[in-house]
Structure 1
Amino acid sequence: MSTQQDSPITTEEAGTATKRSAPTNVRWKLFILLLVLVTVNYIDRGSISVALPMIQEEFNLPPELVGLLLSAFFWTYAAMQIPMGWLIDRFGPRKMMTASCVGWGAATAASGLAGGFLSMFIARMGIGVTEAGVMPAGGKLNAIWMHAKERGRGATILDAGAPLGAGIGGVAIAGLIAMTGSWRWAFIIAGAATVLLGLAVWKYVRDNPREHPGVNDAEAEYIEASHREEDAAAGGGETRRALLPYLRHRSFWAMCLGWLGFNGVFYGLLTWGPLYLSEAKGFDLKTIGWSTFVIFGAGFVGEILGGALADRLRAKGHGANKVMRSMLGFSALMVTLGLIGTTVIPDPITAVTLLSVVLFFLRWVGLFWSVPSILGGRTNAGVLGGAMNFSGNIAGFVTPIAVGLIVGATGGYTWALLYFVGSALLMGAAVVTLDYSKRLAV
């Protein structure tokens, strides 16, 4: 009785099988890891604000020095944005993101050993240097890993770690302080956890979908097909560019000023929010922690829903400018109204409610992390993301100092809240000016 052997599979048959196979979803798992990473980033970044009443008392700091201390992180964080963006484009996001995790974890732990204002100031500057590469690297990964119709969700999943970390951080750091009896141990434990997270980043993140062992051909081809369409629409492939040619474009400056206004509100509430609730509303440490969780938790929910809404509207055929300008213009309006309401209504519960509304709509502007790849393509997303984040973090170091001077001079927070209103108006003007529909010609 003869036996029949199986015929070898031809290349054509293998290709057909690949096309029929369902694409894997590694890109979404990767972005969930990035969400965790940015969440921890903001827990560490905002930990000083939660512990600030104790640090202020221990170091005997007046409001002006409190503002200077809160700004220390942002001086170096902003200064390193454009260099980090260039390094990310040159060496890839995986290496730079891993190095950032290990570095900022060590610096966070070191801040727990600070003996006074100067050593704490230096440690905070160290955190700023080492964290600088995280968001530009995430923006570049969004350009590389996500299909064009998914980048709204990709951008907001990445950026949603900011309000989530700020919200969880309020509870987590307050809990660690209560558990250990020391703000110092809270910082040391948080720093050690961050170093471990860096190992997870190195293990899972890749600079290209084809390099990831979990990505099948169907997922890689799905992503690459989108890249080819974008390159064709832009008139060809991509070339690495210096930053200078982009400076002559209105959309570049709208991107930078929009992020500046956004961070004027967000970083103001992140750095001074807990002390505002303590001094202006009389909240104790536990109430501050849970109020911070509610306010920034609303921002997390708003950002995730905003990204999903933007992608859904694009999928229905609405143009990029119509979707982005209408959504972000409306968010700026709601942020402005919510801040004005917080200024004129003194009730503490109402203040928490209104600030939750502010954060819900403010975080829609996390869609901006899709803008660097829109304007510069995948190849230049790192340096443009760095430029955008540099501009935004000018507000990071100016706002804490400005609020400290305002509170010190006036003895209250009314004019500080109006400063946030001005930032929201700047954001609103920028988001409706930017052209989201095409790559810049340089």
Structure 2
Amino acid sequence: MSLPNSPTTTEAARPQASGPAGKRRTNVRWRLFLLLLVLVAVNYIDRGSISVALPIIQKEFNLGPEMVGLLLSAFFWTYALMQVPVGWLIDRFGPRKMVTASCVGWGAATAASGMAGGFLSMFIARMAIGVTEAGVMPAGGKLNALWMHSKERGRGATILDAGAPLGAGVGGILITWLIAAAGGWRMAFIIAGILTVVLGLAIWWYVRDNPREHKAVNDAEAEYIEASHRAEDEAAAAQGATTRRGLLPYMKFRSFWAMCFGWLGFNGVFYGLLTWGPLYLSQAKHFDLKTIGWSTFVIFGAGFIGEILGGTIADKWRESGASANKVMRTLLGISSVVVVGGLVGVTVVPDPITAVILLSVVLFFLRWVGLFWAVPATLGGRTNAGVLGGAMNLSGNIAGMVTPIAVGFIVGATGGYTWALLYFVASAVIMGISVLTLDYSKRLPV
């Protein structure tokens, strides 16, 4: 996302194929974001692994729906509570250190979850995964602000966030295969944790906090990014919005709250389907473990494709001269309407294949809201993108805390999933109101 165009901003922010003296620029920023895509995908494979294995774990630990909901929520309590502190740490120490520590830590916690002996030890392990994974998405939002040209941040945001549906989709197949190959869910979790630690080392090796610090970035690419930053800084200076701030000054603005509630509504739908989706397919549609894996792949794979497409449409439309508000409100408004309609459809269709198709359509359009990861940089600039990204993700993960528990009690009380799906519809309505309220065109003057 970019700031409103002025003569200075437009000239500096217009993408060019080459840099100073006609030298062709490198594209390290895109390779870095592909690595972050893999990182976020692994993040969601690990956090969603329990949902895929849940039919087995539920029987082994003898858990009712209410206890299942509580177990699924454990991750989100610590993950949410860490968002604002970790956002401040990212702004203070840089995203490279924080995302590396996060990756290594959650790999160790995932492996530990494979050794859980019962509900309590699994609950504690899931809370540890929440603490250690907390830095990934705010750090990614910060890197989007630091590495991407203002006209490329829509794609940067959606490449980063597309790892969520990709990980959820691939994870459905990968974890079911790993469970079969390793002889059970415990060894599958341990292997997944070890591989995650290895990925953390790769992150430390390749990621840098500044394009100039990366050996593979040439002057043309660095200057291309820095020209966009200078244009943004000039516009921000005119608004008096260039210094590092805490979170409190932003809380008086409507756009801050629209950002938070939009992400809360989005995650009310996404985390609900991520945590309870496999069990819904098992209990309501009578799918076996293998069919659950493939259905999850189709549903969340559609979300991955939709998110990448949404980011590309947004950036191309912006490059054609459309305003930020026109692009974002149109795309995300369409997204909200389709998500609401699709979820209502799932509640009334009995056929399991049709339900999978409708959920795939829901995820395709829902993931357009991944464009929100460009919003912290828009509202707070590079300096405050970390703390605003943390606040946004805190809001989203309040939905992560509440939704699994709420669905557990709804399913336990009603014996079915209809009212749980209507809970997701209400979350989508909150998302829709918020995405149409937010002003995407300017930095907040704090």
Q: Which residue of 2 aligns with 1:23?
A: 25
1:421 corresponds to 2:430: no
Gaps of 5+ in 2: 1-17
* Contact residue 19 and residue 220 of structure 2 kept, 8 A: no
Q: Which residue of 2 aligns with 1:313?
A: 317
3-state SS in 2 of match to 1:377: helix
Deviations 1:1-48 (A, max 9, x none): xxxxxxxxxxxxxxx995321010000000000000000000000000
Tell me how far 1:181 sits from its aligned partner.
Answer: 1.7
Amino acid across the alignment from 1:338: G
Q: Which residue of 1 aligns with 2:279?
A: 275
Amino acid across the alignment from 1:122: I
Q: Which residue of 1 aligns with 2:301?
A: 297
For 1:94-105, list aligned pairs within 5 A: 94-105=96-107
Q: Which residue of 2 aligns with 1:229?
A: 231
Q: Which residue of 2 aligns with 1:356?
A: 360
> Matched residues, percent identical?
80
For 1:105-144, list aligned pairs within 5 A: 105-144=107-146
Among candidates 319, 327, 338, match of residue 334 of structure 1 = 338
3-state SS in 2 of match to 1:235: helix
* Contact residue 19 and residue 224 of structure 2 kept, 8 A: no
Tell me how far 1:234 sits from its aligned partner.
Answer: 2.0
Q: Which residue of 1 aligns with 2:166?
A: 164
1:440 corresponds to 2:423: no
3-state SS in 1 of match to 2:437: coil
Q: 1:218 to 1:402 in 2, by over 3 A?
A: same
Q: Return the alpha-carbon distance in structure 2 between the equivalents of residues 170 and 93 of structure 1.
A: 29
* Contact residue 19 and residue 223 of structure 2 kept, 8 A: no
Q: Which residue of 1 aligns with 2:389?
A: 385
Count of aligned residue pairs for this structure pair = 427
Q: Return the alpha-carbon distance in structure 1 between the equivalents of residues 188 and 370 of structure 2.
A: 29
Amino acid across the alignment from 1:440: L
Q: Which residue of 2 aligns with 1:76?
A: 78
Amino acid across the alignment from 2:166: L
Q: 1:17 to 1:148 in 2, by over 3 A?
A: closer
Q: Return the alpha-carbon distance in structure 1 between the equivalents of residues 420 and 107 of structure 2.
A: 31
Q: Which residue of 2 aligns with 1:10?
A: none
Q: 1:17 to 1:158 in 2, by over 3 A?
A: closer
Tell me how far 1:180 sits from its aligned partner.
Answer: 1.4
Gaps of 5+ in 1: 1-15
1:250 corresponds to 2:254: yes
User: Mean alpha-carbon deviation: is it higher for 162-171 or for 231-240?
Assistant: 231-240
* Contact residue 87 and residue 135 of structure 2 kept, 8 A: yes
Q: Return the alpha-carbon distance in structure 2 between the equivalents of residues 17 and 304 of structure 1.
A: 27
Query: TM-score normalised to the size of structure 1?
Result: 0.96
Q: Return the alpha-carbon distance in structure 1 between the equivalents of residues 356 and 194 of structure 2.
A: 32
Q: Which residue of 1 aligns with 2:179?
A: 177
3-state SS in 1 of match to 2:217: coil
Q: Return the alpha-carbon distance in structure 2 between the equivalents of residues 193 and 126 of structure 1.
A: 17
Tell me how far 1:57 sits from its aligned partner.
Answer: 0.2
Amino acid across the alignment from 1:96: M
Amino acid across the alignment from 2:41: T
Q: Which has the larger radius of gyration?
A: 1
Q: Return the alpha-carbon distance in structure 2 between the equivalents of residues 432 and 284 of structure 1.
A: 40
Amino acid across the alignment from 2:49: S
Tell me how far 1:231 sits from its aligned partner.
Answer: 1.3
* Contact residue 66 and residue 408 of structure 2 kept, 8 A: yes
For the aligned residue pairs, the C-alpha RMSD in angstroms reads 0.9
Q: Return the alpha-carbon distance in structure 1 between the equivalents of residues 228 and 407 of structure 2.
A: 45
Tell me how far 1:235 sits from its aligned partner.
Answer: 2.7
Q: Return the alpha-carbon distance in structure 2 between the equivalents of residues 346 and 239 of structure 1.
A: 55
Tell me how far 1:178 sits from its aligned partner.
Answer: 0.9
Q: Return the alpha-carbon distance in structure 2 between the equivalents of residues 182 and 221 of structure 1.
A: 52
1:86 corresponds to 2:81: no
1:260 corresponds to 2:264: yes
3-state SS in 1 of match to 2:438: coil
Q: Return the alpha-carbon distance in structure 2 between the equivalents of residues 255 and 71 of structure 1.
A: 23
Deviations 1:203-255 (A, max 9, x none): 00000000000000000000000011111122357210010000000000000
Query: TM-score normalised to the size of structure 2?
Result: 0.95
* Contact residue 267 and residue 396 of structure 2 kept, 8 A: yes
Among candidates 399, 408, 413, match of residue 409 of structure 1 = 413
3-state SS in 1 of match to 2:54: helix
Q: Return the alpha-carbon distance in structure 1 between the equivalents of residues 350 and 242 of structure 2.
A: 54
Q: Return the alpha-carbon distance in structure 2 between the equivalents of residues 18 and 373 of structure 1.
A: 26
Q: Return the alpha-carbon distance in structure 1 between the equivalents of residues 234 and 333 of structure 2.
A: 30
Q: Which residue of 2 aligns with 1:3?
A: none
Q: Which residue of 1 aligns with 2:204?
A: 202
1:375 corresponds to 2:375: no
